[in-house]
Amino acid sequence: MGGKDRETLTDDIDLDCFGRAELAARRGEKWAIGPAGTIPMWVADMDFPIAPPIRRVLEEAIATGDLGYPMSSLEPSLASTFAGWTKSRHGLSLEPEWVVVTTDVVQAIYFAIDALSAPGDGVVTLTPAYPPYFLALEEKSRRMVAHDLAVRDGVYRFDAGALRGLVAREKPRLLLLCNPHNPTGRVFDRAELTELATIVVEADLVVIADEIHGDLVYPGATHIPIASLGDEIARRTITLSSASKTFNLAGLRCAVAACGCEELAARLRATPKRQRGRANNLGILAAITAWQEGTPWLDAVIAHLVANRDRLTGMLAGFDEVACIPPQATYLAWLDMRRTGLGDDPAKALADGCRVTLMSGGEFGPAGRGHARLNFATTTAVLDEALARIAAFLSAHG
């Protein structure tokens, strides 16, 4: 296994336990796509073992054959457990009765757009943006109202004045907010979020807040849910989250849409339940267990990710033509490679030149051209090999 036997993972947490051959044998999208010998650092999956308590509850369900139809009776427990988790970790008070359970955050974005706007309406998004946002707005016939983040004072920021003017001109209906931000890894601070909330209230917008990375925040930054800033903004906000990103459970299909008022919850629930998705039993059980018992594992993951982030930024410091602001959250690094001479799609050049696959920056919108997104949530050995390949390629290209 390249580490401890799997049976010992209930006793301690070894995040380097999987060798590269084991990872390459996985059937999930991350490792299954691409030529043999390629190191995948693109899609947002982690290469770690699952938390021991989650593994235990899943094994118990399998051992008893408890794989039947989804149990709606589990949903209130999921909602109340999530409410307790987000209150204790992020200071956001939620009414469990206003939490709508769905299969994943992207699914929730789709039906929230349906429930809260009409075809032709504008949706404000801070770009570069998570690629499914573009697809959701296109497929739902909504207008993307893009505001590009820019680097100021060493971090990615929005321009409040320019954003206010954009909203006044375009008259959107929704704000689709990603915080912590994917792909830049920025955690917006209280002053920025307060300014954003003021714009929302002034323009009578509703916020769809994708906060799925909210638990993956590094020391020195604090995730502040926008709905926690006061009753007025809370009543206008649907907070989307899941244990899937934090605990690497995306395949189990379970997420929550936590509404700030009964009216928003009612509008979401007006979408037929089967259309908005039904979380499966294993996903619900895993999420409840993660939020109740997963903190020790998460603490270990955060420490490992900080070390990986620092290894990455340390390597990149040797290449003046690549700019990377260390992410404050997520396990994703946003690489500005416009000065490398690799063109609008440096990720393709890296895949062809050194067999390391990153996500192409252009998938995150026009603001992403010349950039690439790198997922560093892997083992130390895999990361070191990938970084060595990238460094050799950049050195040879330069």
Residues of the chain with pLDDT under 70: 1-11
User: Whats the size of the chain, residue-wise?
Assistant: 398
**What's the pLDDT at 2?**
41
Neighbours of 271 (CB within 10 A): 18
**What's the pLDDT at 276?**
80
- Compute CA 97 distance to the chain's CA centroid, rounded to the nearest angstrom: 25
Residues 6 or more apart whose CB falls under 8 angstroms from that of 372 comprise 335, 337, 346, 347, 350, 358, 359, 360, 361
**What's the pLDDT at 164?**
98
**What's the pLDDT at 367?**
96
Cα–Cα nearest to 104, from 227, 278, 265: 278
- At 10-57, the pLDDT tens digits run 347 999 999 999 999 999 999 998 888 999 999 999 999 999 999 999
Computed over its alpha carbons, how large is the radius of gyration of the chain?
A: 21
pTM: 0.95
Long-range contacts of 368-372 (CB under 8 A, 24+ apart): 368/127, 368/128, 368/183, 369/338, 369/344, 369/345, 370/336, 370/337, 370/338, 370/343, 370/344, 370/346, 371/128, 371/183, 371/334, 371/335, 371/336, 371/337, 371/338, 371/346, 372/335, 372/337, 372/346, 372/347
**What's the pLDDT at 373?**
98
**What's the pLDDT at 6?**
37
Fold type of domain 6-47+295-397: Aspartate Aminotransferase, domain 1 (3.90.1150)
**What's the pLDDT at 289?**
98
Q: Are strands 122-127 and 174-178 parallel, antiparallel or unpaired?
A: parallel
Instruction: Locate the domains of the chain by residue range.
Output: 6-47+295-397, 72-293
**What's the pLDDT at 72?**
82
Architecture of domain 72-293: 3-Layer(aba) Sandwich (3.40)
